Amino acid sequence: IYKFKNNFFVRALSEKDMKGNYLEWFQDPEISKYNSHGKFFKTEKYYKEYIINAINSNEMIVWAICSPNKKHIGNVSLSHIDKINKSADLSIIIGNKIYWSKGIASIVSKKLIDHGFNKLNLNRITCATAEVNLGMNLLAKKLGMKKEGLRRKSLFLDGKYINCIEYGILRSEFYK
């Protein structure tokens, strides 16, 4: 468990998180607008298997983001952990909308990036997002990530194709 000054904390995602409103996040069009969860609705069994796989995996880390009152409000993760090339992909979802735009995403993401560099010996962490996803684009910049590429018209959202922006940060850049 990592605790923060604002009394928020992160911990490993667990099966008990299924008891809250976890599944509802992925069925809410506003919450899942910029991720694949909103395109193909999944069953409770799917998410239970995902959590079990996350717990047992050496290729991903999923932390539950918790409010001061111990409520599970989101997840932050490193996935596609590549032990040879020392890289991983960062993603985050804040499922409880009252915690949007409060700076929580940057605090927990910085901690996970630090964990990736210092505990997993990663050298590079990336993320990719829709060009119109202002929140994630802003987060990537706050984390010190650099724009590395643009996948033209690679995402289909709201009836049209849009660009996807790729960001990355190296260990040496994160600690400057």
pLDDT in tens, 34-68: 987 777 878 889 999 999 999 999 999 999 999 99
Q: What is the mean pLDDT of residues 63-84?
A: 96
**Verdict on whether the full-model pTM lies above 0.85:** yes
Percent of the chain at pLDDT above 70? 100
Q: State residue 154's pLDDT score.
A: 96
Q: State residue 128's pLDDT score.
A: 97
In this model, does residue 104 exceed pLDDT 90? Answer: yes
Residues forming beta bridges with residue 35, ordered by sequence position: none
Instruction: Render 62-119 in DSSP notation, one character per residue.
Output: EEEEE-TT--EEEEEEEEEEETTTTEEEEEEEE-SGGGTTSSHHHHHHHHHHHHHHHT
Q: State residue 19's pLDDT score.
A: 86
124 token code pair: 């590079």
Q: State residue 164's pLDDT score.
A: 97
